[in-house]
Structures are given as structure tokens and as C-alpha cells.
Amino acid sequence: MTTATSRRDFYQRIAHLNAAPLWEVLSEIVGAQPHPGAIPAIWKYSELRPFLMESGELITAREAERRVLILENPGYPGGSRIAQSVYAGLQLVLPGEFTNSHRHVASALRFIIEGDGEGAYTAVDGERVIMHPGDLILTPTWTFHDHGNPGHSPVVWLDGLDIPLVNFFDSSFAEHLPDEATQESVLSEHPSFAFPFAPMRDALRNKSLDACHGAKMEYLNPTGASVSKTLGAFLQFLPAGFSGAPYRSTDSTVYCVAEGRGSSLISDQLFEWSARDIFVVPSWCPVSHQAAEDSILFSFSDRPAQQALGIWREHATPATAPHPH
Ligand SMILES: [Fe+2]
């Protein structure tokens, strides 16, 4: 028997004992560096919006809590994820729609994309907050939440959740309340789970520019911790003409353009973006941002989860020295 044949024969004989040879898969399962299955991609809001509105006719108000277009990474068709460990979707709540309360283990954050700020709200454990474009609203793990839109305009937000992580751990639980059990919510003057856009935007203007990120801040809870144990959220300002140095990190990052126009080079692909577009930078893909106008980018990633596990890595390309003349 040749070596190859005798090895194959051996593999077959151990297979029925539920054993397998590590030497055949070692380099695949213990990679020398990340090889994400997700690929860099962009979702143009102007292209998606008509379909989102069409879903408003297909999916009734009663089902509005799940009227979401999942932003699905082309590397994971049918995978309900925008990257290996993070989920993103666009949710629409039309005027006159109110959802029942539910809760789940998965943590959520919402970055408001569209709305007139005239009444559409999210309630978390009975605390209601009005959704204005640019606001970040959190739904911590296992908190009851519902949405309503007593206003006159549709409200649309980017949903970010740690669903793939929770499912990886086989730790998902969810609970849906019937109409009569949905709790009353009260408008909160100082909500503990929302970050209005204006103060974050103002704070960015006072920050110095980093060569890779421009002026960038993480949204932090009053305790100084990330917005969730699994997901971190960030806001960054890129002045017109900014051309960032390449950066890579192991947290797959979802960007949503809050303001402005520019482009990002992700690995070797250039993505042009403008306000409300969403794009994803999978783990360890080098990214560099260029701003054609003053621009503000919201982003979220699984960085806190990786940091808690002690596995997060980043690499910033040092600013290149000026060419000698
Ligand atoms: Fe939910």
C-alpha cells in the first residue's frame, strides 16, 4: 500500500470511533493569521431604501418587530450575519406601528438612520427614548424592549447585534410578551441607554487627529466601560481631504456613514460612500479611509468580547516618512 492509501485506510478505520487526524487539518484550524470567510462589502442606502419601504407593505404592523432587512455578508449567503461574529440589519417602523415587548440574550445597539425625531421611540425596560437620526440606543442583554411610531414619518435604524456570538456559545434564550402584557413605557428625560448624536459630534471636534482614524471616540457607559460586554461602538470625524494610514484589527467592524462623502480602501477594494451607506471591514483586513468632505463615521464591532477573552490584536501602519528630495 502506498503511504497515501494506508493513511486513508487508517482514517476510515478511526472514523467510526469519532476520531480524526489533526495532522490533516492543523494549519486550517490553527491559522497563522486570520482568514475571514466574510469579505469586504458595502450596502448603498439609496439602493436598499426602496426595498425596505416595499417590505413595509409586505410585512404587517403586527410583524413590525421583525421587519428587518438583514445585511448579509456575500461571503456567508444565508448566514444571517454581516461578518463572522456580528449581525447587522435595517429595521423600519412606519407611522402608527407599535411592537410588543420582547427580550433576548443577544445584546443590540441601534444607530438611527432616518426619522423626523417626532415621536418614534424605543423603550427599554419601560424607559422610553425618542429616536433622532444619529442617536445610538442600546438594548442590553435580556432587557425587555419595544418600538413605536406615533409620528408621521417612517423611522429606520441600523441594528447591530451579537447574535452569531451568542449562537456560537449555544446560549440563546428569547421571550415574547403578548399584547396585554406589553409594559407601559414612560418618556425618559435622561435615558441611561441612549447616546444623543449632538454631544458626541461636538466632543469629536475637540479631539486631535490620529493618522489612521482621524478623531475617533468610543461610546462609553458612565462606568467607563464599552456599551456592551460583546459590542463596542465608535464615532469618528474625518476632515475634508483626510487620507488615513492603513489599519487592521481582529474585530470585524461595521461602519455607517453619519455625514459626509469619501471612500475606504479595504484590502485591495475601494468603496465609495456617502451619508447612510453601510460597509463592513472583516477581521484583519487592512482599511484606510479618505474623506472628500467633512465626514462622520459611526461604527461597531466585537472588540470588547475579544478583549475580554484576551485575543484582540491591532496593527497600525506607521506614518510614512516624507520622501527625501
Ligand atoms: Fe429585539
Average pLDDT over residues 211-218: 98
Residues 257-276 have a mean pLDDT of: 98
Distance 277 CA to ligand 1 centre (A): 23
Is the per-residue pLDDT at 238 higher than 70?
yes
**Predicted local distance difference test score (pLDDT) of residue 44:** 98
pLDDT per position as a tens digit, 133-183: 999 999 999 999 999 999 999 999 999 999 999 999 999 999 998 887 777
pLDDT classification of 317: cutoffs 50, 70, 90: confident
CA-based nearest residue to 185, from 241, 120, 111, 125: 125
Give me the count of residues in the chain. 325
Residues 59, 68: Cα–Cα separation, whole Å: 10
Q: Look at residue 65 and tell me whether its pLDDT is greater than 80.
A: no
Cα of 36 vs centre of ligand 1, distance in Å, is 27
Answer whether residue 319 shows pLDDT above 70: no
Query: Mind giving me the DSSP string for 30-45?
Result: S-SS---SS--EEE-H
For residue 320, the model assigns a pLDDT of 55
pLDDT at 324: 46
Distance (Å) from CA 74 to ligand 1 centroid: 24
Mean pLDDT of the chain: 94
109-137 average pLDDT score? 95
Strand partners, 273: 262
What is the distance between the alpha carbons of residues 294 and 257, in angstroms, rounded to a whole number? 11
Ligand 1 center from residue 251 Cα (angstroms): 23
pLDDT of 263 over the 90 cut: yes
User: Ligand 1 mean position to 103 CA, how many Å?
Assistant: 6
Retrieve residue 238's grid coordinates.
Answer: 474625518
13 alpha carbon to ligand 1 midpoint, in Å? 48
Task: Give 145 Cα–ligand 1 centroid separation in angstroms.
Answer: 7
**pLDDT level of residue 232 (50, 70, 90 thresholds):** very high
Residue 193 CA, ligand 1 centroid: distance in Å: 15
CB atoms within 10 A of CB 197: 19
Q: 75-79, 158-162, 185-189, 320-324: which range is least confident on average?
A: 320-324
Strand partners, 69: 90
199 has pLDDT over 50:
yes
Torsion of CA 82, 121, 304, 291, to 10 degrees: 60
CB neighbours of residue 173 within 10 Å: 11
- 104 CA to middle of ligand 1, Å? 7
Question: Concatenated DSSP letters for 225-243?
Answer: -BSSSS-EEEEEEE-TT-B
What is the Å distance from ligand 1's center to 123 Cα? 11
pLDDT for 108: 98
Ligand 1 center from residue 106 Cα (angstroms): 8
Residue 8 to residue 278: CA distance in whole angstroms = 47
Tell me the CA–centroid distance for residue 80 and ligand 1, in Å: 15
Q: What's the gap in Å between 155 CA and the centre of ligand 1?
A: 16
Q: For residue 177, how far is its CA from the centre of ligand 1 (angstroms)?
A: 12
**CA 276 to the chain's CA centroid:** 14
